[in-house]
Amino acid sequence: METYISKIQELSSDKTIAKFGTHLVYLTSADNPKEIEHKIIYSILNKKPKRADIYWFVHVDTMDDPYTCEYKVEHIIPNDIIRVDFKLGFQDTTKDPYFISTSSGSIGDKPGNKYFLKI
């Protein structure tokens, strides 16, 4: 992933390319936070590049403990690339959407904004 970070960052700030969306979210199956699937990179950079303010890479692990509900947020590039790792139990009965709450504008938005992810 490290080889593509600068290219994604350049794309995000390139005003000559039409913005695809403010937040672009991809589900990744890569367990290692430093890796990303080639098809995701291809989708972002090749043919018709997808420019966004913030790129999210979301990974979900199903845990053996039936009621686990944890997440970890890693800012790969602040205000540009964010990875979220969820660890969810196989019988988690939570009906409410999971959310990530920003603190002190950490992703370029107002403090306390919440991003809902329905899983």
pLDDT at 104: 38
pLDDT at 42: 94
pLDDT at 13: 92
pLDDT at 18: 93
Encoded amino acid at 71, one letter? Y
pLDDT at 64: 85
Question: Can you point out the beta strands (E) in 1-119?
Answer: 19-27, 51-63, 69-77, 81-89, 98-101, 114-117
pLDDT at 105: 45
Domain residue ranges in the chain: 2-117
pLDDT at 33: 84
Q: Would you write out the chain's pLDDT as a tens digit for each of its 119 residues?
A: 788 999 999 999 999 999 999 999 999 999 888 898 999 999 999 989 999 999 999 998 888 888 888 889 999 988 899 999 998 887 755 555 555 554 434 444 444 455 555 44
